[in-house]
A = this chain, B = another copy of it.
């Protein structure tokens, strides 16, 4: 076992501070990664605050990890020392159930291991994430990252990126289709970039006039202000797909009204109760309300390759690790465009 520096919180109320954690010695198929950058995801905040009731302390969040390989196990074949790699939301799964066999490890029937806050089956306790200087991960859960991209902006692709790319692919968004992105934050701004790159007629749907200019800069063809009933009714029954990134409970009925018959609105943000959905908004025109969660390892690699091909990264604001407590507050106030990324060098010195 090796001791490494990390930033952790001892309780729901405590601030993050420097702590020492243990990483396992490498097994045959493990890769050790020196962490360069870690994105700050809204989930990190939910987890630290125990919003989902499963927090384990000390918590070391971080599941948008970019780094370089510094050591490999004897049987590792995909990676070598010096490779630029990423680690996302998962670090292990059974690899044998039907979900794993269909490359959807996030729904592993025996339970996938999250990058932080899961049971650590190697050294006991719970897994500790990317707010740390290094991590050891089995090679099947390590992603290859192109050297061509601005790698600071690659970190958020490991969660915000795959979370938005996966549903756009799953619901088969095609060139020329009319795609709506609801909400302009860490997820929404990635949804826009992907939908535009896929050739969709991409439309920002937002409550806030102030976000219209930003959305246009990100490449949308049009902006609908959702509080304006005339704008909303002008677009009734016209969307081929809607990606709903709103991170809290809200009234989805006005958005369902925008869908064409037989089409889908997919939730990727609101892991909490939604206001009363009117059955008629699904029954009339046979509409679908769905949800989606990250993606499997194979699709995450496909997404990273798509980003390299289309020169897509997240828009980020860099912070040092000692700014993390303030960053959490700013994320909660929606005060970031669009994702904080920690320069992990700041923890090493």
Contact = CB atoms under 8 A, between A and B. Distances in A.
B284 A279 contact: no
A290 B291 contact: no
A186 to B, nearest CB: 16
B287 A288 contact: no
A274 B282 CA distance: 11
A261 interface: yes
A234 interface: no
A49 to B, nearest CB: 16
A107 B285 contact: yes
A197 interface: no
Q: For chain A, which range describes its interface: under 10, 10 to 19, 20 to 34, or 35 or more residues?
A: 20 to 34
Interface stretch (A78-86, A123-131, A263-271, A314-322): A263-271
A261 B291 contact: no
A170 B285 CA distance: 13
- How many copies the complex holds: the figure is 2
A267 B292 contact: no
Interface in A205-257: 249
B280 A290 contact: no
A291 B279 contact: yes
A70 B288 CA distance: 43
Interface string A265-307: 0011111111111111111111111111100000000000000
B279 A267 contact: yes
Interface in A67-93: none
Contact of A286 (B270, B277, B287, B290): B290
B283 A272 contact: no
Contact of A280 (B107, B264, B271, B285): B271
Given A261-B104, A273-B276, A277-B273, A289 B286 contact: no
Nearest to A237: B109
A21 interface: no
Contacts of A287: 290-291
A99 interface: yes
Contacts of A282: 267, 289-291
Contacts of A270: 279, 283
A268 B282 CA distance: 9
A286 B279 contact: no
A271 B284 CA distance: 9
A286 B293 contact: yes
Interface of A: 99, 104, 107, 170, 249, 261, 264, 267-293
Given A267-B283, A273-B277, 8 more contacts: A99-B261, A273-B276, A274-B276, A277-B277, A281-B291, A282-B289, A286-B290, A288-B288
29 contacts: A99-B261, A104-B261, A107-B261, A107-B284, A107-B286, A249-B279, A267-B282, A267-B283, A268-B283, A269-B279, A270-B283, A271-B279, A271-B280, A272-B279, A272-B280, A273-B276, A273-B277, A274-B276, A274-B277, A274-B278, A279-B291, A280-B291, A282-B289, A283-B291, A283-B293, A285-B293, A286-B293, A287-B291, A288-B290
